[in-house]
A and B are shown apart, each in its own frame.
Chain A
Amino acid sequence: MAAVSPSVFLLLVNGQIESANLPEFDDLYCKYCFVYGHDWSPVSGLEEGISQITSKSRVTQQDLVWNFPIDITFKSTNPFGWPQVVVSVYGPDVFGNDVVRGYGAVHIPITPGRHKRTIPLFVPESTSRLQKFTSWFLGRRPEFTDPKVVAQGEGREVTRVRSQGFLTLSFNIVTKDLKKLGYDMTSEVLSVPEATYRP
């Protein structure tokens, strides 16, 4: 098997949606899904997931911690359409309606190893003041038709969004056969100066 040159490469992602910094909100849960190109397909693991509802700590009013694990393996023939993880955060508003609190997306890191990513979250804005008020009053805030919209560039010019906070994800990446297929992802060049600069 090893002698045969591979026809696909594998990307193993595990990690977790660690926490979010959304200062104004509490009791939130999040939902993640992956967006990837035509040449990608998940081999194993959950492609989507909904986390538990988490509340802020009573002691330190800071981050919402989910520590929601992600574990998925992708198979691909083409790095184009490298998977992105799309996270959307939901929670109750003043009247108890479940509304969206933020969307965010980030590419899965391309280099093997441990990575931490902090992504900004945003929500679409209402088109008018009146709409804003009614949407607030009725608890039907504007949402993206599809959370995956945030992972693509097409059509975004028609939307207006407001940023809400930050979300931190950590990834552990393992790749297989990438180098054999001619894609060199390791950053050897970058690691050298660190070594020399050590006193």
Chain B
Amino acid sequence: NFFAFSFFPEHLDMHETDEEQSYGPDDEQEQKEKEEEKEKKEAGQEMEDPSLLKLEDEPLFIMDKVAPDLLEVKPAEFHDYQKRCEKEKSLLFTPSSVRVPVSLKVPENLQPRYLEEEGLYVGERPDVSLTNQNILENRLLHQEEGMKWFGDDGQVIALPNPIREYSTRLPFLSPLEHIDPTAKSKPTRYYTPGMADPHGDTQLDIDISGLMFTHHSLFSREHVLAVRLLQLYDHFLVRKQKNLVSQLRDKLHAIRTAVRNISELHNSSSLPPTIQHRVDEYKAEIRYTRKLLDSELEKDRTLLKSMIRVWKNIKALRDLQKFTNTPLKLLLRREEVDKMKEEQMYESEIQAEASEVLEDYEEEYQKNLADFKAKHAEWKAWKKKQKSRKKTKQEQGEEGKEQEEEHDQEQGINLERPKRPEPVDQNTVVQQIRKRVYGIRKKPGEPLLIPELTSVGTITGTELCPRSEVLRREDMLKRSFFIKIIFNNKVVSQTTSHSLNYDFRVHFGQIFNLKIYNQPESLKFQVFETMRLFPQMLAEVFIPIPETTLTTSSAPFEDYEFSSYQRVLFDHGGVGSDVPFSFEADGSNKVILLTSGKVSCSVTWAVGETSGAMNPQQSTGVQSTLKKHDIISSVRVSALRDMQMLSKWALESRLDPNDPNNTKLLQLLKFATTGEVQISNFFRLEELQEEFKFLKDNEFQKSKRFKLLELRNREVAEFRNYKKIPIMEREIPDKLLQEYEDRLKEIVVIDAKTQLDVRRTLASNYLQKVRETVMTRFLIAKHHHNLWDLVVEEEIPSLTLLGIRFFTLLEPKRPLKPTRKERKKVTAQNLSDGDIKILVNVVRAYDIPIRRPIVSVFIYKIIEIFYCKDLCLIFLKLLLLVFFFYFVKVLVRPFVEVTFQHAVKNTSAAEGPNPNWNEELELPFRAPRGNYSTSSLRSVKDNLFVNVFDELVFDVLEDDRERGTGIHTRTERHWLGSVRIPFTTIYFQSQIDGTFKIDCPPVLLGYVKYYGIGNDGGYDAVRNLSNGSYITIFITVEPQLAIAEAVREKVSFPFHSDEDEKLLQAAEKFHKRAFLKFPTRRCLTTVSDIHGKTVFISRYIRPLDPPAELLETSLNNPQATAELVAYFVSLIPSLPDSVSFAGICDLWCTCDQFLHLLAGDEEEHAVLLCNYFLAMGKNAWLIIGNAIPEGPTVYVLTYEQNKFIIWNPSRGQFYSQYETFCPLQSVGCLVNADNVWFNIQQYDSPMRMNFDISKSKFWKPFFTKSGSHTNLCSIQPEELIYYPTDKAAVAELQDRIEKLLKERITEWRPRHPTRWNRYCSSSLRQFLPMLEMSRGRDVGDEHRLELQNLLGDYRICGFPMHMPFSDIEPIIEAVYSTGVHKNDIFNLEFALAVYICPYPNNVLSVWVYVASLVSKKYLQSHMSESSY
């Protein structure tokens, strides 16, 4: 009972207990009853007790007396069977399994409601077999309240099926399971790649038995007819098998008997309406069947007729062409029949038909008659009415007349007197039927003709045939056919090629087993015909995928028809395809036949050896059902986002839109299709897109860190290679970005006080901008890589190189005269701080100024007396020398100090004006920001200073007695001059070896030049050695740094050009040739202008007038004018391009740009100077060559007084061609406004060269034909505009510089008081303009003497410095580098004077005179000059 309780709903349970109570007590009750009985029994016993007690008195067991009271003997009760059945019937109920009509299940007077039809969701009902359902329903109905179990739709109320059709849990895969160690590779015969099917093999067997053509282009006429006959015969056979005629006859017969039976049953009296209706139906059926039968009979006859006709045609054709092509033979078997019987049947049939037809007519007649009668009656009534109306009309009078008449007319038309239908004549009907039947049916007694088609005929041998037929047959032999099988649009296999049989059949008989891993979608055959070599597709045949039940064991062959629209025409017996031809002699009745045929094949599912049918029932079949329900398995997870796939799937699987499980999906699809905004509560992957943005855009904008990162990524100049961008926002200093933004806004911080500075800052800003644009272009270009940027590959060695290689093998290992070998270059990226050193080998110096001894003042007085007399000048000089050597032991003690990047190295002090040190100094090199890449190294702006000092040693030992035991000296250093070499020069040259002129100040107080007296200038060669001091040094970088290609402008430089393409190509060619012949010589034909465009170099040359005031100063002396102009040009500050444009390329400014920027490289200076010289009427050229220490540079060559003069434009110095210390080392080419000449002489040193450009032996011109260059107009302006410099501003600047320098010198001497000697300063200041006038030459002695007079008590040590003005900072640097301040004599005084000489266009010449003064008294009292 407990179990029952749990299984059934409560109310049901209650019912059941009720039932059980009514039909039989259940266990509990039984027990109760038993207990009651027991109690009763016990009670009975108690009641019986007295009697028992009574009996106790009597003897106890007297059986015979007691027995009748206690025992009752009854015969066994027996109910007879019928009674028992009745009783059981009243108790038992056997529900029937008969279907319960719906009306019983719904409340009375109500139609069943189908919720599903009303659009409500009804879940799928659990599957219960129909009989069980019926039994349940019957049982429920039997109960009293059984109706409540049924829903509105008359079905038992049920919950939806809780069982899913597929397992939701994935199969458990142990990690070891997927590798079966014993697994053998299974042969897969035809594998179509795709998703592997885990359920097992599915195999499709394709049995292609053959191909049969119903028409082929090679058919002969006979074949065409034969095929036609065959088709007819096939048709006939099919019809015969169906045997429709006899079927219809039987049917007709059956219906007729049925009608007859009915009429007999009811005695043809009045039939009840239902039966009458049925009879009518029968009759209609009879009519229809009769018609069918007639048509079938007719078809049979026509078929037979046409067969005979075709056969006759064939026979005729065979006779005509005198050979047979087909073995067909039509036989007509005659079957004799019983004529009497047939006649009787025929007659009876006609009679039956006739009677039926008559009946029909009769019926129709009756119907028509009844109709007529009714109409007639109506007509009569109308007639009467008409008459009566006429009467009333007359009474009514005229008014209503019109209306009435109209009415009359209407009625009068309708109602005419109906005709009486004619009765049908029986005879005519019979006649009609006979006539019809005669046409279609076989006449009684006529023999039955049964056609039989056999192929027993013989085909005429080829040798007996006419030529066209022979050709046709030969052609046939050439043809072969095969079929390609294409499964799911993939070619799977193909049959072997077979040739055509004589009857146009191809037999293949091949079976293909396709292992399928994909859902089969399509299967098709392609029929190919091979004629000669190339197969040609005839047609495609689509084969349906077989039903899953269709297995190989039960497969019939089926024919699939195909046809082709190919047009084929033959000149032999073949009829061709898609070609009209005729059988008639006159060519009428043309037919057009297309190649067509049938493929006979069977496509079935294979039967496996063990697992039965290998159809997709287990695999694909299940999958397809799965697909309908499980979205994951059908569209895969990845496709879940694809709306189209989803909607497609939803369509395919016919999702129940009412299912609550599907609502979300459908909602989604709906939104997706309608494009509405979706408010979803489900997970979509796209939604994360927003999440991935971890910052909002505006926050991103605000963040300093992201901005910094972005700017670095864009390679903005300030942030390029910026290291360690802090991770925290707060760690980024505000000013970092602020500066950048300020620059963007062009808020240039102008700290300048005067208008002069404003101009300069603006110019420098402009330069900065130009630099940046060029830089960005360069950076873009840098990202275009070539193979040689990435891969180091040796060039293919030429024969000469190979030869050299072989010679090197034979070379002695230790040659007597070793040559400098190229060191191995180090790639920059492996370097770090401290790896690179600069080696400076200081060899010797010439003509160092010597000290002027204090004691010899009086001698100078004497010299002064004789000074004016030139004759004794040389004698005096000699005298002086002798004097020096004999009376003064020490002339000078020079040493060299090399400064680079704040590292200082000294040589030891040598003696005399021509010292010889031969010392090697090693200075560390540190790249900016530790970046040793080539681009970074190129932009190093540091300079190497080689300073020459004189070392003065003072003995400061106070007590002479200690002289034996101790040394107490004080040294003092006096700056004599310096050489400045930029690091970039060292880097690009990799070694600098030579003798350089020391930049000596024009006046060195306390020093005198060795030969410095007799210098009167001029272009003569005499003065060559006397002009200055020289130092021989060798500088190199250790290890040697690899230099990346500095300029790539020719090959791949992306800068565009306005030049003519031809010119550029010619330049390229010229350059290449020059390079081939003289690889070391510089050849420059095209250069980049300030915008980075390539410009032909000649365009820069154009005569331009120098400032007028320069020309006016010395009108009589052209040489002085030339020197002044050169001086003016050299006053424009120099700024090497390779520094500003970090090794990209040289940019050539035009002269106006150059003057505007007031900064430029050697080439700008040279171009300007050259242009000035041209304007002054000189012959001037640009020299492209190499110089020391600049490296590749540009000089100016002039031709005057039959001499070639070389000008150094950035220093304003000139040299004759044969001068020894000319810095120009080699000459590559010459340029002027018309042409470019390349040096093809043996030597390129100016001394050994011939500068006569007209000699083609020495110079190769670019434009060989004269006049070809005329179209090259200059890019220079027509004239330069000069404006005078503001004098007041200059004066102000002068004061400012002086003040600043004084402050600085005080700052540099923090431990000592700095005193300024005003008297000295003012006298120096007076002297400076004189120096400017003479441009620093030959005023030394006068001035010195003057000073000596003025300040007789002081030992003066000082020098004027001269430099072009670019900024204040470099001036301070220069003063600092001389080390004037490094003097700690107690009583030291300083003198300082600054003078600025203005030139037009703000070109300023700055003079700074620094001197230190020591009172002689002090000196004498404190120390004595040591005399080493």
Taking a contact as CB atoms under 8 Å apart, the answer to whether A39 and B724 are in contact is yes
Asked whether, in the complex, the Cβ of B797 is within 8 Å of the Cβ of A138, the reply is yes
Residue total for A at the interface (Cβ-Cβ under 8 A): 36
CB–CB A145/B783 < 8 A: no
Interface presence of A124 (CB below 8 A):
yes
* Interface status of B1421 (Cβ within 8 A of chain A): no
Contacts of A146 in B (CB 8 A): 827, 829
| CB–CB B794/A41 < 8 A | no
- Whether the Cβ atoms of A127 and B793 lie closer than 8 Å is yes
A148 to B829, CA, bound (A): 9
Contact between A41 and B724, CB atoms less than 8 A apart: yes
A20 to chain B, nearest CB (A): 22
Q: How far is the CB of B35 from chain A (nearest CB, A)?
A: 59
Tell yes or no: B712 within 8 A of A by CB: yes
Q: For the complex, give the distance between the alpha carbons of A21 and B727 in Å.
A: 41
Contact of B791 with A by CB under 8 A? yes
Any chain A CB within 8 A of the CB of B725? Answer: yes
Q: In this assembly, does A88 line the interface, its C-beta being within 8 Å of a C-beta of chain B?
A: no
A143:B792 contact, CB within 8 angstroms: yes
Q: Are A158 and B827 in contact (CB-based, < 8 A)?
A: no
**B808: min CB distance to chain A, Å:** 13
Q: Does B786 contact A (CB under 8 A)?
A: yes
Is the CB–CB distance between A39 and B790 below 8 Å?
Answer: no
Q: Determine if A96 is an interface residue (Cβ-Cβ < 8 Å).
A: no
A144 to B709, CA, bound (A): 29
A41 and B721 CA atoms in complex are apart in Å by 13
CB-contact partner of A135 in B175, B794, B830, under 8 A? B794
A140 to B174, CA, bound (A): 54
* A158:B787 contact, CB within 8 angstroms: yes
Say which residue of B174, B783, B792, B794 sits within 8 Å of A134 (CB atoms): B794
Q: Are the C-beta atoms of A38 and B174 separated by less than 8 Å?
A: no
Across the interface, name the chain A residue whose C-beta is closest to B786: A158
Q: A38-B712, A38-B725, A155-B785 are in contact. Are A144 and B791 (CB under 8 A)?
A: yes
Check if A145 sits within 8 Å of B794, measured CB to CB: no
Complex alpha-carbon distance, A74 and B558, angstroms:
77
Is the C-beta of B398 less than 8 angstroms from some C-beta in chain A?
no
- Say yes or no: is B1218 at the interface (Cβ < 8 Å to chain A): no
Tell me if A126 counts as interface (CB < 8 A to partner B). yes
Chain A positions within 8 Å of B786 at CB level: 158
Contacts A124-B791, A145-B827, A159-B791 hold; do A41 and B723 have CB atoms under 8 A apart? yes
Which of the residues B790, B793, B794, B797 comes within 8 Å of A156, measured between beta carbons? B790
A154 CB within 8 Å of chain B = yes
Instruction: Please measure, in the bound complex, the distance between the C-alpha atom of A38 and the C-alpha atom of B726, giving whole angstroms.
Output: 11
User: In chain B between 156 and 184, which residues have their CB closer than 8 angstroms to a CB of chain A?
Assistant: 174-175
Report chain A residues within 8 Å CB of B792: 142-145
CB-CB under 8 A from A38, the residues of chain B are 712, 721-725
Per the 8 Å Cβ criterion, residues 115-168 of A in contact with B are: 124, 126-127, 130-131, 134-135, 138, 140, 142-146, 148-149, 154-159
Chain B hits for A5, CB < 8 A: 728
Q: Does B854 contact A (CB under 8 A)?
A: no
* Complex Cα spacing A126 to B793, Å: 7
Chain A residue at smallest Cβ distance from B792: A143
Question: Quick one: which of A130, A146, A149 has the most chain B CB within 10 A?
Answer: A146
Set of chain A residues within 8 Å of B789, measured between Cβ atoms: 145, 155, 158
Is B80 engaged at the interface, CB distance under 8 Å to the other chain? no
* A7 B726 Cβ-Cβ under 8 A: yes
Chain A residues near B829 (CB-CB < 8 A): 146, 148
Complex Cα distance, B783 from A5, in Å, reads: 39
Within 8 A of A (CB), among B926-960: none
Residues of A near B791 (CB, < 8 A) are 124, 142-145, 159
B794 touches A7 (CB 8 A): no
How far, in whole Å, are A155 and B785 apart by their CA atoms in the complex? 5
Interface 1/0 per residue, B714-734 and A, CB below 8 Å: 000000011111111001000
Query: Judging by beta carbons under 8 Å apart, are B721 and A134 in contact?
Result: no
With an 8 A cutoff between CB atoms, is B796 at the interface? yes
From the candidates A39, A140, A197, name the one contacting B794 in the complex (CB within 8 A).
A140
Contacting pair A158 B785 (CB below 8 A): yes
Tell me the residues in window 774-830 of chain B with beta carbons closer than 8 Å to chain A beta carbons.
783, 785-787, 789-794, 796-797, 827, 829-830
Q: A39-B724, A134-B797, A158-B790 are in contact. Are A199 and B785 (CB under 8 A)?
A: no
In the complex the two chains form, is B725's CB within 8 Å of A7's CB?
A: no
Given A7-B731, A38-B725, A77-B726: A154 in contact with B783 (beta carbons within 8 A): yes
Q: Hey, which chain A residues are within 8 Å of B731, CB to CB?
A: 7
A9 to B790, CA, bound (A): 33
Q: Which residues of B contact A181 (CB under 8 A)?
A: 727
Instruction: State the CA gap A140–B724 with chains docked (Å).
Output: 39
Q: How far is the CB of A84 from chain B (nearest CB, A)?
A: 15
| A130 engages B796 (CB within 8 Å) | yes
Please tell me if A48 contacts chain B, counting CB pairs below 8 Å. Answer: yes
Shortest Cβ gap from A143 to chain B (Å): 5
Does A78 lie at the interface of the complex (its beta carbon under 8 Å from any beta carbon of B)? yes
Of chain B, the residue at the smallest CB distance from A197 is B175
* Distance of B1176 from chain A, by nearest CB (Å): 50
Is A174 close to B, CB under 8 A?
no
Contacts of A158 in B (CB 8 A): 785-787, 789-790
Q: Which of B727, B783, B830 has the most chain A CB within a 10 Å cutoff?
A: B727
Known: A146-B827, A156-B790, A159-B787. A7 touches B728 (CB 8 A): yes
Most buried by A among B724, B725, B783, B790: B790
The distance from the CB of A79 to the nearest CB of chain B, in whole angstroms, is 10
In angstroms, Cα B172 to Cα A199, docked, is 11
Inter-chain contact A77/B797, CB cutoff 8 Å: no
- Asked whether any CB of chain B lies closer than 8 Å to the CB of A110, the reply is no
B709 contacts A78, C-beta separation under 8 Å = yes
Bound together, the chains give a CA A77 to CA B730 distance in angstroms of 13
**A7-B729 Cα distance, complex, nearest whole Å:** 10
Closest chain A residue to B725, Cβ basis:
A39
A135 CB contacts on chain B under 8 angstroms: 793-794
Asked if A108 is at the interface (CB within 8 A of a chain B CB), the reply is no
Q: Which of A1-15 contact B (CB under 8 A)?
A: 5, 7-9
Q: Roughly how many angstroms separate A48 CA and B827 CA in the complex, as a whole number?
A: 15
Q: Is the CB of A77 within 8 A of B790?
A: no
**Which residues of chain B in 816-847 are interfacial with respect to chain A, using CB atoms and an 8 Å cutoff?**
827, 829-830
In chain B, positions 1291-1321 with a C-beta closer than 8 Å to chain A are: none
Contacts of B783 in A (CB 8 A): 154-155
Partner of A199, one of B174, B722, B726: B174
Of A39, A48, A126, the most chain B CB neighbours within 10 A belong to A39
A50 to chain B, nearest CB (A): 11
For residue A148, which residues in chain B have a CB less than 8 angstroms away from its CB?
829
Contact A77 B725 (CB under 8 A): yes
A89-106 residues at the B interface, CB under 8 angstroms? none
Question: Bound state CA distance, A89 and B175, in angstroms?
Answer: 38
B788 to chain A: closest residue by CB: A145
23 pairs, A vs B, C-beta closer than 8 Å? A5-B728, A7-B727, A7-B728, A38-B725, A48-B830, A124-B791, A126-B793, A131-B794, A131-B796, A135-B793, A135-B794, A142-B793, A143-B791, A143-B792, A144-B792, A145-B791, A149-B790, A154-B783, A154-B785, A155-B785, A155-B790, A158-B789, A159-B790
Which 3 interchain pairs have the tightest Cβ spacing? A155-B785, A77-B727, A142-B793
On A, residues with C-beta under 8 Å from B are 5, 7-9, 38-39, 41, 48, 77-78, 80, 124, 126-127, 130-131, 134-135, 138, 140, 142-146, 148-149, 154-159, 181, 197, 199
Other contacts beyond A38-B723, A142-B791, A159-B791: 5, CB < 8 A: A41-B724, A124-B791, A126-B793, A131-B796, A144-B791
